Chain A
Amino acid sequence: MKKFWRCHVCNDIHYGVKAPEICPTCLKENAYVEIASGEAQRIMSVAQITIDKPAFVQAIKAFAAKCEFQVNPDQERVELLLEGMFNNEANHGLKYCPCRLIEKDFSKDIELICPCNFLVHETYQDKADGECWCGLFIKKEIT
């Protein structure tokens, strides 16, 4: 079961089954202590961070940079998908994939937040030209 963990040195927050051995922010070893979700939310509320479309594109390109996939070079397609995701965030609270519908069951719906775990999609797995269901991410060509 996932829990919240707080670095006692720099207040870095981690949500996971176990604490990181080294804090990625301050590099202190064995620095995490388990905390309540309310405490974690209070600490995270200090930072008011927003992500607009250019920042999101930059984020997903950085995410894909060292992976076997890339952001689709088809700009028109990416723009349409971004419009859908940001409309979904405005209307439904999170950047849900515009090519699938939420079921109103949050434990399932969080699997539709972009980027999702598209590595398991049948449109991506075992295909040289695989892509996520919506086509935002495509496999890099092997040269």
Chain B
Amino acid sequence: MKKLVMFHGRECPHCRKMMPLVDKMIAEEGIEIEKLEVWHDEKNADTMRSYREVITPKCGGQLRVPTFLNTETNDVECGELEYEKLIGWANR
């Protein structure tokens, strides 16, 4: 798994809105991020659950999507982000 991960759901409107921004960040900034769909892939879902203690305190006590996780620093953002904030998270 890459250092930066986006947990997303196929039918989540927030995730659908963020996906072009993530793709733009990959293309323009050369940032590597792994996208893991969690509602239709149980392995990915279990991966997200394994970070429960890291994610939930910053996401309303729940495993919300989209969640952006740095697996090395445990830096977490969730929900819809402005592009600049997304890049800021990726570069922190």
Contact = CB atoms under 8 A, between A and B. Distances in A.
Interface in B21-77: 38-40, 45, 48-49, 52, 60, 62-65
A103 B63 CA distance: 8
Contacts of B48: 101
Given A80-B11, A83-B11, A87-B39, A99 B65 contact: yes
Interface size class on chain B is 20 to 34
Contact of A101 (B16, B38, B60): B38
Interface residues of A, number: 21
Contacts of B63: 100-101, 103
B5 to A, nearest CB: 14
Contacts of A98: 9-12, 39
Nearest to B15: A99
A99 B64 contact: yes
Given A100-B64, A100-B65, A103-B49, A135 B13 contact: yes
Given A80-B13, A91-B40, A134-B14, 12 more contacts: A87-B11, A87-B40, A98-B11, A99-B9, A99-B65, A100-B62, A100-B64, A101-B63, A101-B64, A103-B49, A104-B49, A134-B12
